[in-house]
Structure 1
Amino acid sequence: MNTKKLIGKTVLIVEDDPKIRNLLKIYLLNEGYEVMEAVDGLDAKNKIEDFDPCILILDLMLPKISGEEICKWVREDLNSMMPIIMLTAKATENNRIQGFKLGADDYVVKPFSPGELMGRIEAVLRRTASRCGKISFSGFTLKPAKGEAWIDGTKLELTHFEFKLIHTFMQHPDQVLSREQILNLIYDNHEKAVSDRTIDVHIKHLREKIKAHSSKEYIQTVRGMGYKFVGL
């Protein structure tokens, strides 16, 4: 099994068929993606608003709100360029043309090969890399271009150094970093302006801000070694 973690690659599967949803989840997890699931259109809207996934795998024939409506809402109401792959039994050329007009980046017809879909996901993400300039793990999302950090839809108010810290941790998930390594990753060696022990104070403050919005211990202390960001 592939154990790599693809930074910033959170996939939201919107599919009401549990067999298809579970099959896709197995393949995506095996490829290192973080996976979220929605069982209908309303569930999808809520998860898109709360978690801002990196790519959307969207069935069109959904309960409550159709996939076409979701796609139109993402593009027009949210004004989002989130990559979208439509997954549907609608196989005519007109259906595909309509899907692309609504703003889909790719269109996959059922029944499909999971392996082919994984290839299409990779291709779409390569083409749209500039749209997904964020890192996301288990409800914690960082948007470096905007300097924003979010937990479960709530924006954290971080200092400049705290943001640099969490950005560094999230770029190295599940990896123990010493204080010296953290400083080297944040600064060029000749630009260090923070001592090793000052790191502890900043991490303490960062943890307090995270704890106010989540019970998950994202930043763990590894005794005698340093700190580790736990992504899952």
Structure 2
Amino acid sequence: MAVKGTGILVVEDDVKIRKLIVLYLEKEGYEVYEASDGEEALVAFRKYDPCLVILDLMLPKVSGEEVCKSIRADWKEEIPIIMLTAKVEEQSRIEGLKSGADDYVTKPFSPGELVARVESILRRTNQRCSKITYRGLTIKVLRGEVHYQGESISLTQHEFRLLYFLMMHPNQILTREQIIDELYPHNEKIVTERTIDVHIGKLREKLKWDGDSELIETIRGMGYRFVAYQK
């Protein structure tokens, strides 16, 4: 089963191959970012901070090996990297692994098998990737950070806990009562449903969503829902 809310960067200069990989990953519920060359890959990696990278070995501008080494040198040892290549020689595979790759897939390959390898690696490493990502919005639980479209967002403690609670229950309706219990577990003071509405309003203002459907949806007479993906 796919780890929902997990961001993956796919770096591949062949458009057809890249789009096929993206299609299979998104079908399994992953948040996928794309890059077509080594320079784009490094920019996208720093912007989106993914939990896993699928990286073609032979890339324009900056090679896959150099991208891999740069990621490893950038204090990101915990980020798993799957290397893709058309080269079948043993020495090429060894060089890829030495550059920091965790796995090696030779072209042509089965997209289903690649997804299976992704899932296998994430089962082993996902606890070290303590972040949730949907639609360009990432919350880093241990660091207490929120990033939206690569930009840092400053939230209050209650706003952070509210967003985390919503993102932990993607596409689920949460009542105001449930949110009150989560944000104010000991109920030290009287908290009204209006307080939750105010928190939601401020959170929406800071996220400034401009897409077709808002990130936090109001369900009239029931509560709120974080719209992680369209069903």
TM-score calculated relative to the size of structure 2: 0.90
The CA distance in 2 between the partners of 1:90 and 1:115, in whole Å, is: 20
Are 2:132 and 2:140, in contact at CA under 8 Å, matched by a contact in 1? yes
Aligned to 1:75: 72
Cα deviation 1:82-111 (Å, max 9, x = unaligned)? 111001112222222222222111111111
Q: SS at 1:177's partner residue?
A: strand
Unaligned runs of 5+ in 1: none
Cα deviation 1:18-64 (Å, max 9, x = unaligned)? 12112212211222222221111111111111111121110010111
Q: Percent identity?
A: 54
Are 2:5 and 2:29, in contact at CA under 8 Å, matched by a contact in 1? no
- 1:192 correspondence with 2:169: no
- 1:215 correspondence with 2:199: no
One of 50, 54, 70 as aligned partner of 1:53 = 50
Aligned to 1:139: 136
One of 16, 24, 30 as aligned partner of 1:27 = 24
Q: Tell me the amino acid that sits aligned with residue 165 of structure 1.
A: L
What displacement does 1:185 show?
3.9
The CA distance in 2 between the partners of 1:57 and 1:98, in whole Å, is: 16
Q: SS at 1:155's partner residue?
A: strand
Aligned to 1:203: 200
Cα deviation 1:147-194 (Å, max 9, x = unaligned)? 100111211111111100000111111222110122334454xx2344
* 1:55-204 → structure 2 map (5 Å cutoff): 55-186=52-183, 188=185, 191-193=186-188, 194-204=191-201
The CA distance in 1 between the partners of 2:150 and 2:22, in whole Å, is: 23
The CA distance in 1 between the partners of 2:124 and 2:2, in whole Å, is: 20
One of 33, 41, 45 as aligned partner of 1:44 = 41
Q: How many equivalent pairs are there?
A: 225
The CA distance in 1 between the partners of 2:220 and 2:183, in whole Å, is: 22
The CA distance in 1 between the partners of 2:227 and 2:184, in whole Å, is: 23
Are 1:8 and 1:54, in contact at CA under 8 Å, matched by a contact in 2? no
What displacement does 1:80 show?
4.5
Q: Tell me the amino acid that sits aligned with residue 142 of structure 1.
A: I
Q: Tell me the amino acid that sits aligned with residue 202 of structure 2.
A: H
The CA distance in 2 between the partners of 1:183 and 1:223, in whole Å, is: 17
Are 1:72 and 1:103, in contact at CA under 8 Å, matched by a contact in 2? yes
What displacement does 1:196 show?
2.7
State the superposition RMSD in angstroms.
Answer: 1.8
Are 1:8 and 1:132, in contact at CA under 8 Å, matched by a contact in 2? no
Which 4+ runs in 1 deviate beyond 6 A?
Answer: none
The CA distance in 2 between the partners of 1:15 and 1:192, in whole Å, is: 51
Closer, same or farther: CA 94–186 of 1 in aligned 2, 3 Å:
farther
Are 2:80 and 2:121, in contact at CA under 8 Å, matched by a contact in 1? yes
